[in-house]
Structure 1
Amino acid sequence: MKDLSSIEPILNNIGSFNEVPTEYNSNDAYESLTNSQILVIGSGGLGCEILKNLALTGFKNIHVIDMDTIDLSNLNRQFLFRQNDIGKSKAEVAANFILNTINDPQLNITPHFKKIQDMNLEFYRSFQVVISGLDSIEARRWINSILFSLAQQEDLIIPLIDGGTEGFRGQSRVILPTFTSCFECSLDLLSAKTTYPVCTLANTPRLPEHCIEWASQMEWQKQFPGKKFDADDPDQVDWMYKVALERAKEFKIEGVTRSLTLGVVKNIIPAIASTNAIIAASCCNEAFKYITNTNPMLNNYMLYSGDDSIFTYTYSYTRKPNCPVCGNIAKNIAVQNWWTLQQFIHEIKSKQEIQMSNPSLSIDGSLLYMSNPPELERITKPNLSKKMRDLVGNGNEIVITDQNLPISLRFLVQFEGNYKDPEFL
Structure 2
Amino acid sequence: MAATQMQTDIPTPQDATDTVKKDWPGRWSNMNKFLDRRGPFCDSGFIPGHGEDILLNQCRILVIGAGGLGCEILKNLALSGFKEIEVIDMDTIDVSNLNRQFLFRQSDVGSPKAKVAAEFIMKRVAGVKVSYYYGKIQDKDEDYYLGFHLIICGLDSVEARRWINATLVNMVQDDPERIRVLIDGGTEGFKGQARVIIPTITSCYECSLEMLSKPTSYPICTIANTPRLPEHCIEWASVLQWPKLRENEKMDTDDPIHIQWLYETALARAKEFDITGVTYSLTQGVVKNIIPAIASTNAIVAASCCNEAFKIITNSQPYLNNYMMYTGNEGVYTFTFEHQKKSDCPVCGIQNISVEVKRDITVEDFIDFLKEKPDIQLKKPSLTKASTNEKIYWQSPPFFEQKTRPNLEKKLSSIVEEGDDILITDSSLPISLTVKISYV
TM category, shorter: 0.7 to 0.9
Match of 2:439 in 1: 415
2:158 corresponds to 1:137: yes
2:184 corresponds to 1:162: yes
Match of 1:422 in 2: none
For 1:397 and 1:189, locate their aligned partners in 2 and report how far apart those are by CA, in whole Å.
28
1:219-234 paired onto structure 2 within 5 Å: 234=254
For 1:151, what is the secondary structure of its paired residue? coil
Which among 107, 123, 145 is matched to residue 84 of structure 1? 107
Question: Structure 1 residues 67 and 19, CA, compared in 2 at 3 Å: closer, same or farther?
Answer: same
Which structure 2 segments of 5+ residues have no match?
Answer: 1-22
2:168 corresponds to 1:147: yes
The CA RMSD measured in Å over matched residues stands at 2.6
Which among 307, 323, 332 is matched to residue 345 of structure 2? 323
For 1:378 and 1:88, locate their aligned partners in 2 and report how far apart those are by CA, in whole Å.
39
For 1:54 and 1:109, locate their aligned partners in 2 and report how far apart those are by CA, in whole Å.
11
Q: Per-residue deviation at 1:224? A: 7.4
Tell me if the contact between 1:39 and 1:127 (Cα under 8 Å) persists in the aligned partners: yes
For residues 392-415 of structure 1, the C-alpha deviation after alignment (integer angstroms, 9 at most, x for no partner) is 223332222213421223323232
Q: Which amino acid aligns with 2:117?
A: A
Q: Which amino acid aligns with 2:160?
A: A
Tell me if the contact between 2:190 and 2:327 (Cα under 8 Å) persists in the aligned partners: yes
Tell me if the contact between 1:161 and 1:173 (Cα under 8 Å) persists in the aligned partners: yes
For 1:267 and 1:407, locate their aligned partners in 2 and report how far apart those are by CA, in whole Å.
29
Tell me if the contact between 1:62 and 1:108 (Cα under 8 Å) persists in the aligned partners: yes
Which among 378, 390, 394 is matched to residue 356 of structure 1? 378
Question: Structure 1 residues 339 and 324, CA, compared in 2 at 3 Å: closer, same or farther?
Answer: same
Question: Structure 1 residues 262 and 245, CA, compared in 2 at 3 Å: closer, same or farther?
Answer: closer
2:168 corresponds to 1:116: no
For 1:195 and 1:112, locate their aligned partners in 2 and report how far apart those are by CA, in whole Å.
36
Q: Which amino acid aligns with 2:91?
A: D
Question: Structure 1 residues 381 and 215, CA, compared in 2 at 3 Å: closer, same or farther?
Answer: farther
Match of 2:6 in 1: none
Q: Per-residue deviation at 1:162? A: 0.2
Aligned residues: 408
For 1:354 and 1:272, locate their aligned partners in 2 and report how far apart those are by CA, in whole Å.
30
For 2:329 and 2:410, locate their aligned partners in 1 and report how far apart those are by CA, in whole Å.
49
Question: Structure 1 residues 172 and 355, CA, compared in 2 at 3 Å: closer, same or farther?
Answer: same
For 1:408 and 1:226, locate their aligned partners in 2 and report how far apart those are by CA, in whole Å.
37
For 1:387 and 1:120, locate their aligned partners in 2 and report how far apart those are by CA, in whole Å.
38
2:329 corresponds to 1:295: no
Which among 381, 384, 407 is matched to residue 383 of structure 1? 407
Question: Structure 1 residues 52 and 356, CA, compared in 2 at 3 Å: closer, same or farther?
Answer: same
For 1:20, what is the secondary structure of its paired residue? coil
For 2:267 and 2:366, locate their aligned partners in 1 and report how far apart those are by CA, in whole Å.
38
Which among 272, 277, 289 is matched to residue 294 of structure 2? 272
Match of 1:241 in 2: 259
Match of 1:31 in 2: 54
Question: Structure 1 residues 128 and 257, CA, compared in 2 at 3 Å: closer, same or farther?
Answer: farther
For residues 277-309 of structure 1, the C-alpha deviation after alignment (integer angstroms, 9 at most, x for no partner) is 111111001111111111121111111222244
For 2:108 and 2:51, locate their aligned partners in 1 and report how far apart those are by CA, in whole Å.
40
Q: Per-residue deviation at 1:240? A: 4.0
For residues 318-377 of structure 1, the C-alpha deviation after alignment (integer angstroms, 9 at most, x for no partner) is 111111110124233231233211112122222332222211112222221111111111
2:390 corresponds to 1:366: yes
Tell me if the contact between 2:236 and 2:266 (Cα under 8 Å) persists in the aligned partners: no
Which structure 1 segments of 5+ residues have no match?
Answer: 417-425
Question: Structure 1 residues 40 and 262, CA, compared in 2 at 3 Å: closer, same or farther?
Answer: farther
For 1:410 and 1:326, locate their aligned partners in 2 and report how far apart those are by CA, in whole Å.
13
Identity %: 52
For 1:413 and 1:304, locate their aligned partners in 2 and report how far apart those are by CA, in whole Å.
40
Tell me if the contact between 2:35 and 2:51 (Cα under 8 Å) persists in the aligned partners: no
Tell me if the contact between 1:142 and 1:406 (Cα under 8 Å) persists in the aligned partners: yes
Q: Per-residue deviation at 1:243? A: 3.9
Q: TM-score, normalised by structure 1?
A: 0.87
For 2:417 and 2:72, locate their aligned partners in 1 and report how far apart those are by CA, in whole Å.
52
For residues 14-39 of structure 1, the C-alpha deviation after alignment (integer angstroms, 9 at most, x for no partner) is 23222225x51423542344321111
Tell me if the contact between 1:42 and 1:132 (Cα under 8 Å) persists in the aligned partners: yes
For 2:352 and 2:51, locate their aligned partners in 1 and report how far apart those are by CA, in whole Å.
43
Match of 2:213 in 1: 191
